[in-house]
Structure formats: structure tokens, C-alpha cells
A = this chain, B = another copy of it.
């Protein structure tokens, strides 16, 4: 038997699928990611399960939809008994490490109830979403919250940078004419270079730490979740990346006046958020998007550096590489900033899978436009590691991508992809006067049509073929009644088919079916 491959699971944060060269961006430079796409499969129609960091990541790590794992928003603890990737890979002999961000919130109440010490070895794994926290860094360290012992801050100090929180004052701030820091929290500074040298930036440092992990892991199989904070805000790139792009390089905002004139009530409430108001201004887009692009090109550079490192270590042929993102960024499209809703800039994600082994030659260099979901990675990794994800189909809600990667014909690939939102936590909910558990929305797409069900509000429907910009809401179009009904039915079916009986496998159910009599329980016997 051949050795199972290492799994390098790279996630960017807030990286739009269309801001990559291999996905058609006309001006961005991502040569290393593009090269990886040529070495693997580029899934061009991949969706995150929730367009916001925490719940999206919990779906990536559990292989389950957000409503199933329950961590529906940032800061919602993941139930202590939700299984994660590490639960599946460690028994297969893998070291499962983390460098970077997970957005995992520990379930303190659940742990206390069960007497699980968060500092015990089990407790650490459960607290860290199943990853060995080789270096966890969730990447947002405003002065109010910053841990004085943050390893990255220690590192910056070792490089000679000063201050209580150089993450902010150096890596995420620019410098004014008089040497004063200009905070990267303010987008008006996004055209300026960060005060940090590129080689000491977060992206560079995170990459270094990934190399440390790989070096240390040696010959036994590993899975490394390398989870970059960028190009997530603060939108502040170090030189030379801050100046690599200009307003002429950015994609035009996808929006129309009609969207503001007759907005959907929930979208309208989001349009009222500060980030949406700002990103609706051209001045903001022209200053911020070039920085966002610079951060992506910088990320690309370090992914290339890491690929070279892997090659130099002789691991290239033993290492499967996945490149994805937790969600996108509106960047002013649809008069919106940030993410959370379901337009393509927000809900669609990059998903590139490079399997260097011969079995994947059939798909090498191809684009695959079948519907893929973030939750597919747990079964995919499990299968790649030598497990059998089918035995977990009472828990996992994603589908293994391995047959697609091997170029096998798959007759019954999924017809629909889903994504969810719990916007209870945003001012939009207050604006709409909703209770916390009323602020829910659900997206379903069949690739051609996208349907959004909002609790308490009418749905939305877009025709992605004729209207790829998702400008014209067809929910009330009489001609679309059939497709609307079909997608609503698919959504309802999806709810009913949720995997919630997680404590017993389907194979075990098969074994037990109709066996009560064999155990002497003779009900109904005359």
C-alpha cells in the first residue's frame, strides 16, 4: 500500500473567487495559484455554507451545514460534541495541525457540564476545533482585545518593531508624514504601505510558521490547515504590494440603481450598514480594492514560496494541496460591503484541489463547474487519507470530491448547493425589528438559478445564466413560478434530510433493522 498523502489545506480569508487570475480576473496577478490550478482541478462553482467567517469555517471543519453544527455566527461556540476533521484524520495516523485562523469559539458551558478541562490534551483539541494549535492566530487584534503574548507580536518585537501591539501599530497601520501611525482600521489609509516590511508581514510570517510545522512533522503523514487572515480587512498591504494596483485595475462595481430603488427589505437593511455606505462610494473602492488585490498577490507570492519549499523538501508528489476561502467580499457590489448575504461576490469561494498522484491525472489542469460545497472537504480529506467517508454519512453532509478528482464519471452528483445566514448579530436585524431567532436566510442554487428564502420576508430569485450580475430579482415574475417552486421544494427537502441522528451509523441501522425478535423481544406474536 502506498503512503497516504499529506494534506495542505490552505484557506484565505474573505478572498473572492473572481479575484484570481485562473478564475478570469483581467488584471490581478496570481501566477502561483494559477500554476497550482493547472496542476489540479479548479472547481469554479464552489459555495461556502455561510458567508461569514465563523459558521463557514465550522462547516469546513465539521463537514456539516451551519444549521446542523449550530454555530450559526461568529462567536457562537461549536457544541462540544461536534466532530471535526481531526476526529476523522487522527485515527488514520495523521498529525492534524493549525497555523493561522479558525474562528473557533470554545463551548465553555458544554465543557464545564461534562467536566472537560480545557487545558487537558482532549480539552485543547475540542477547544481548537480538532486542530493541534501549532500556531493559532485569528488575525484580528485591536488594542482593546490584543493578547500581549500574541506570538506574532513577539515576533515583530524580535524584528525590532516597537509598541504594545505592533500587529496594529506596525503590521496594520501606515505612517503619516510626521511618522505618526495611520490606522489600517480606516480605509482612507488603504492606499498607503503598511509600516511592516513585507518579509515580516502576517502573510509572510504565517507562511514561515507553516514551513516550521512541515519541517517538524517529518515523515509521518500530516494535515496542515494553513489559514491566512488576509486579504481580510484591515485592508493594508506592505510595500510593494500596496502600490501594485490602481483604480484602473479593479473590477467595476456590479450594481444598478434599480437595486436601490426597489430593494429587498433585508438587502436594504444591509445597504444601510456603514460598510455598505462606504463601499458604495467610488473613492472608497478605488482606494481599498487595489489594496485588497495587493494583499492577494502577496498571498500568491507566499503560496508560491511554500510550493517551492514543499518541492525542495521532496514532498511535492506526496502532498495534496487545497486552496480555498471562507467567503468572499462584496467590495461595493450591489451597494454592499463585507459579506453575509448570498450574491456571488459573497457566497462563492475559490476551490482548487491539487492531487499530484497519478490517479488524478485525468482531471489535471481542468476546470470543473459542478456544484461544490465547503463541507465537501472533510469527506474528501478523509478519503484521501485512506478512510471511508461513506461510513460517516450519518454525520457528514458534504460529498467526497475524490471521484471528481480522479476524473470518474459520477452519475448522481448533487443538483443543488446551499448556504445560510444568521444575521441576528447585525444592525440590519434591529433596523428590521426582528427577534434574534427571526433573522435567518437560506440560499439554494442549481448553478443556473439562485433562490434565497428569507424568514419573514419575500424570497429572491436570480437567473445566473442571463443575469450573472444578479441584478434582476425574478421572485415575483410569473414566468418563473415553476423554477421558484422547484428551488423552494429543494430547500424544504434539504431541511428534512439534515443529518441530525449523528450517534449511530447507517450501517449499524441496517444491521439492527427488524432484529428485536432475535433479542427475545417478541412483540406482536400470537
Contacts and interface: CB of A to CB of B under 8 A. Distances in A.
Interface of A: 67-68, 70-73, 75-81, 83, 87, 107, 109-110, 113-116, 120, 122, 126, 140, 142-145, 183, 185-188, 233, 273-279, 284, 337-338, 393-394, 422, 424-427, 429-430, 435-437, 440, 442, 453, 455, 492, 495-504, 506, 509-510, 512-514, 519-526
A279 B524 contact: yes
Nearest to A495: B495
Contacts of A279: 524
Given A514-B425, A522-B186, A503 B274 contact: no
Given A186-B525, A186-B526, A498 B67 contact: yes
A25 to B, nearest CB: 23
A144 B515 CA distance: 13
A393 B519 CA distance: 40
A136 to B, nearest CB: 18
Contact of A394 (B115, B277, B437, B492): B437
A435 B505 CA distance: 12
Contact of A142 (B142, B278, B425, B521): B521
A278 B501 contact: no
B140 A501 contact: no
Instruction: For the complex of A and B, list the 7 residue pairs with the smallest distance between their C-beta atoms, beginning with the closest.
Output: A275-B524, A142-B520, A495-B495, A185-B522, A144-B520, A436-B509, A77-B503
Given A70-B501, A79-B503, A430 B520 contact: no
Contact of A526 (B83, B278, B504): B278
Most chain B CB atoms below 10 A, which of A72, A426, A525:
A525
Nearest to A492: B492
A519 B142 contact: yes
Contact of A273 (B116, B495, B524): B524
Contact of A514 (B68, B430, B436): B430
A292 to B, nearest CB: 13
Given A79-B81, A425-B514, A495-B495, 13 more contacts: A68-B500, A70-B502, A73-B501, A76-B501, A81-B107, A87-B113, A142-B519, A142-B521, A185-B520, A278-B524, A278-B526, A492-B492, A495-B496
Nearest to A512: B425
Contact of A512 (B72, B75, B78, B510): B75
A503 B70 contact: yes
18 contacts: A70-B502, A71-B503, A81-B107, A107-B503, A109-B503, A115-B116, A183-B522, A185-B523, A186-B522, A273-B524, A275-B523, A275-B524, A277-B524, A279-B524, A284-B526, A424-B513, A427-B514, A440-B496
Most chain B CB atoms below 10 A, which of A68, A70, A75, A143:
A70
Nearest to A279: B524
A114 B80 contact: yes
A422 B115 contact: no
A513 B436 CA distance: 9
Contact of A425 (B71, B394, B513): B513
Say whether chain A's binding surface is mostly helix, strand, loop, or mixed.
loop
A501 B72 contact: yes
B109 A115 contact: no
A468 to B, nearest CB: 26
B80 A524 contact: no
Contact of A524 (B67, B276, B509): B276
A501 B275 CA distance: 27
A71 B495 contact: no
Given A425-B513, A496-B495, A76 B504 contact: yes
Contacts of A72: 500-501
A496 B114 contact: no
A183 B521 CA distance: 12
Contacts of A114: 80-81, 114, 116, 122, 126
Nearest to A435: B506
Given A79-B502, A274-B525, A430 B187 contact: no
A500 B82 CA distance: 12
A504 B108 CA distance: 11
A71 B115 contact: no
A440 B493 CA distance: 12
A10 to B, nearest CB: 24
B524 A338 contact: yes
Contacts of A338: 523-524
Contacts of A122: 113-115
Contacts of A504: 75-77
Contacts of A233: 523
A447 B7 CA distance: 55
A325 B510 CA distance: 29
A33 to B, nearest CB: 25
A404 to B, nearest CB: 22
A496 B68 CA distance: 11
Contacts of A110: 81, 503
